[in-house]
Amino acid sequence: MKNIEFVSKVHNILKLNNKDEHTSRRFILKVGRDVAKQLIAQKLIDKTILSENNLYTNIPCIEFEKVDAKKCNIASFRLCRTLMKSKNPLPELVFGRGSSIRDVISLDGDYRFNFVDENQYRRNKARQHQIKNEVSIYLGTDNHLYIPDEEIYSVDLNVITLKTEEADKTSSCAEDSCKSNWEYDFICPDKLIETVTMATLQSLGITRQIREDQNPNNVQGN
């Protein structure tokens, strides 16, 4: 489902209920994304939607550049023999790391990437024997990716972001596109789209009974 399809669906129901006089389409999309983000985050915690491939947006060719490790604001990385930082930040993710990012692949495919926090990185460094071809990767609070101790200049990966239009800005090999924001995918598992639609309508002032089987986690719009 595209953004325009989701918004049109909600907008048409609002019109039927005479609730669309002051509701812009951009606001409908924002509310729908907020509801979807809350529900997806909850489902990621209980690991019930990890197999939903349509949740993930592929971002190819994320380029990295070498930075001065000694000036890094991440204390654990200041003694790295080399430190790589993504040139562009990732789009806003549902979660900061973990299940929101998967399938990180270098161009040559020789490495297995392991997301770590600072504590895990220090523990890994203290090991006498490192796992062969395993590379640590870290997502900073600035939403940039960092690769310590390895000189890797480009990776592909899949992420869960509701702002799919921003993914093209992260990739260095994305084709120039004249697509509008409305032509991008509205990220939501197919089995949850009805719940998100109804919760969006409730947030916009439409009261409508949601069957229990459509809303198993009692997620309502705020």
Domain identity same for 90 and 156? yes
Each residue of 51-61: pLDDT tens digit?
776 888 999 99
Domain identity same for 166 and 86? yes
Domain identity same for 128 and 64? yes
The confidence score (pLDDT) of residue 43 equals: 85
Domain identity same for 61 and 48? no
Across 95-104, 144-153, 212-221, least confident range: 212-221
DSSP the chain: -BHHHHHHHHHHHHHHTT--TT--HHHHHHHHHHHHHHHHHHHHHTTSSTT-GGG-EEEEEEEEEEE-GGG-SSGGGTT-S-EEEESSPPPPPSSSSGGGEEEEEETT---EEEE--HHHHHHHHH-SSPPTTEEEEEE-TTS-EEEESS---EEEEEE--S-GGGHHHH-SSPPP----GGGSB----GGGHHHHHHHHHHHTT------GGG-TT-----
pLDDT band at 129 (very low <50, low <70, confident <90, very high): low
Q: Which residue has the higher pLDDT, 118 or 3?
A: 3
With respect to residue 110, please indicate whether it lies within any of the assigned structural domains.
yes
With respect to residue 175, please indicate whether it lies within any of the assigned structural domains.
no
Domain identity same for 143 and 207? no
The confidence score (pLDDT) of residue 128 equals: 56
Number of domains, the chain? 2
With respect to residue 88, please indicate whether it lies within any of the assigned structural domains.
yes
Tokens linked to 103: 């399938």
pLDDT band at 196 (very low <50, low <70, confident <90, very high): very high
The confidence score (pLDDT) of residue 177 equals: 67
Each residue of 11-47: pLDDT tens digit?
988 888 766 567 889 999 999 999 999 999 888 887 7
Domain identity same for 61 and 163? yes
Q: Are 170 and 62 in contact (CB under 8 A)?
A: yes
Domain containing 194: what range?
Answer: 3-52+189-214
With respect to residue 27, please indicate whether it lies within any of the assigned structural domains.
yes
Q: Which pTM does this prediction carry? A: 0.80
Domain identity same for 139 and 109? yes
Mean of pLDDT values over 104-109? 84
Domain identity same for 121 and 209? no
For the chain, what percent of residues have pLDDT higher than 70?
84
Domain identity same for 203 and 105? no
pLDDT band at 144 (very low <50, low <70, confident <90, very high): very high
pLDDT band at 221 (very low <50, low <70, confident <90, very high): very low
With respect to residue 21, please indicate whether it lies within any of the assigned structural domains.
yes
Domain identity same for 87 and 18? no
The confidence score (pLDDT) of residue 207 equals: 57
With respect to residue 132, please indicate whether it lies within any of the assigned structural domains.
yes
With respect to residue 219, please indicate whether it lies within any of the assigned structural domains.
no
Domain identity same for 120 and 47? no
Q: Per-residue pLDDT for 185 more than 60?
A: yes
With respect to residue 221, please indicate whether it lies within any of the assigned structural domains.
no
